[in-house]
Structure 1
């Protein structure tokens, strides 16, 4: 077993050593793996989001990295140096890791400045100077001598951020830190937080169950399900090249078509879809998002011409249309099997209930998975 004082093998060439690296972490509760072989790397200044539904093991992973919970298997490295495996363990206070949670946990009996300086060592004047500098950067410098109860929720969140950054941690762990904020405040505070963390060159591991938050903040997303990371990559790649149907559905509503493969093709009412590498007879699901459905008007019982890229049009009847603010959601009862398909359209589009229309599905926006 490696000595915790011995650095891990360093990267060669121009590859940057990860600020945080976890390898094959496992944690069992009552014989069940709640974190199962999780590995990831976070570089200096990078924001990685652990994204997944409640109960998938995200927060447990964070607690093991912070040192407040021990893994059953696996290793944790900071700047290439082993800080924890199943034999050796650097205490939490010596890991140079900051923590932010949904509960701001500010001390009510301490001033804002004393809250920020709480984890600092040194002379009183130097600690106050550091607190003042950070509070100025989050636009709260004038409140240094006030108390937490005198601040709004958004202001308390920024104090919590300043306190977490005060000891200059190499790594920041954030567990749903913005979920308790009003929607009006959330975007602005998220952006301010991200900017400050980038300035400090801090490696950030953010836990969230909100895909929009992950897409907005992350340089890389690790999609987690049932204790495992099922897909990892840049937000664009995770969104546009999903690993499976559940990965598509986690980011948005989906429409499904069922089909069977014959000659590497799946035949549907919308025409054929390519299913390369799948044996004949394989049952597949063709998955596509509502925003990618194309809508055309009925012309005396006829729709648009079939094309290679759009496929064959299929007729549906409007069941319901709703305006959602930035877009309209239209639900269609399809003629071919009575199923309901959803389509979203930018701005206002509210066709009357019972109106017949034709739908097409662009091939480059569809995903074919074994059923």
Structure 2
């Protein structure tokens, strides 16, 4: 009797392949490290923002991916295939990468149609159909024969987007593409651009130094500093679980209280804060944002009772208060050390300078970081 054939193994679902992957990328200029061992993955249809201050290496990373600059070490892969290392290099024009820059880089002597068609291959009718379809998508068909100088900044940005999308790139690289636009137009243009990019299914890597832009557009944020990615994740996680004090400060104003750890606790005028795993004697910064400060009235020199959620109240004197549109910003000089703390309050709250008030801080919105310098 023949032995029964073994049952086929259950097929395992293959891990999705990133549309763009960079591995351990580094770039040096004149002995200075500008990009320092950066690794990043962007999936099809995903928008990743490379976020950081000017000069941190964002644009250099983008230029290496595009092929207009050459890394000193590391690899770049598109759809799982190597396109560049320190030996092998696919030319920029063969990488299926679209580019958008701050200045739009439109050809002033060419019409809108010719700008969008630049770089397209195929017959004349085929190219024209592609141009018209894209201009219709960005609502610019009425300007098809116009020249760039006849368009507004927002319209020029949409022409640049149509031109970048025309060849059907699998990856779109965008370097501060909205910074030249008027604030009034920026939000609408950003939202419209994001919708078109998502529809096209390209993997998008957007460089910006504006946290609000990254939060608004990104599926994932890679926070960059001094050539390195210091934190990466969904916007909610990067904002609410910052890697260090500098990461928290990059997204918003912060308040900082310094203390010393004793028995995994730090004593402050706002009560004790937990510092689990931090050795005794370590100086720590307790970081919290102005919107997480609660304000209460002074009752003849006393404040509210302590609570487990908000801790111990500490008194401060109003230095100034400003209405910011959707909220009010109030600055206090604290009684215990004369430091300045900031609080934001929804709507209009404008107490007069010199008024004493009591502040508490939500424990679940505080971050404790060992002092590093």
Q: Distance in 1 between matches of 2:86 and 2:13?
A: 31
Name the counterpart of 2:48. 48
Residue of structure 2 equivalent to 1:8: none
- For 2:24 and 2:148, the matched residues in 1 are separated by 40
Instruction: Find the counterpart in structure 2 of residue 23 from structure 1.
Output: 23
Residues matched between the structures, number: 360
Structure-to-structure mapping, 1:177-188, within 5 angstroms: 177-188=177-188
Q: Per-residue displacement from partner, 1:260-313 (whole Å, max 9, x unpaired)? A: 000000000000000000111000000000111000011111111101110000
2:260 is aligned with 1:252:
no
Q: How does 1:248-327 map to 2 (within 5 A)?
A: 248-327=248-327
- Alpha-carbon deviations, 1:200-241, whole Å to 9, x = none? 101000000000000000000000000000000000000000
Q: Which residue number in structure 2 is paired with residue 7 of structure 1?
A: none
> Equivalent residue for 2:6?
none
The answer on 1:108 being equivalent to 2:108 is yes
1:164 to 2:160 alignment: no
Aligned counterpart, 1:3: none
SS in 1 for 2:88: coil
Q: 2-side partners of 1:71 and 1:355: how far apart?
A: 58
C-alpha displacement of 1:155:
0.2
Partner of 1:200: 200
The answer for unaligned runs of 5 or more in structure 2 is 1-11
**Residue 152 of structure 1: how far off its partner (Å):** 0.5
Q: Secondary structure at the match of 1:27?
A: strand
Select between 138-147 and 68-77 the one with higher mean Cα deviation: 138-147
Paired position in structure 1 for 2:64: 64
Report deviation, 1:40.
0.4
CA distance in 1, matches of 2:13, 2:38: 26
| TM-superposed deviation, 1:16 | 1.2
TM-score calculated relative to the size of structure 2: 0.96
Q: Distance in 2 between matches of 1:292 and 1:128?
A: 55
Structure 1 equivalent of residue 7 of structure 2: none
Q: Please give the root-mean-square deviation of Cα atoms over the aligned residues, in Å.
A: 0.7
Gaps of 5+ in 1: 1-11
Secondary structure, counterpart of 1:250 in structure 2: helix
SS in 2 for 1:28: strand
Write out per-residue CA displacement over residues 332-368 of structure 1, whole angstroms, 9 at most, x where no aligned residue.
Answer: 0100000010001111100011100000000000000
Aligned to 2:204, the other structure's residue is in SS state strand
Greater shift, 95-104 or 27-36, is seen at 27-36
Q: Please list, as runs of the form range in 1=range in 2, the aligned pairs for 1:98-177 lying within 5 A after superposition.
A: 98-177=98-177
For residue 109 of structure 1, report the CA deviation from its aligned partner.
1.2
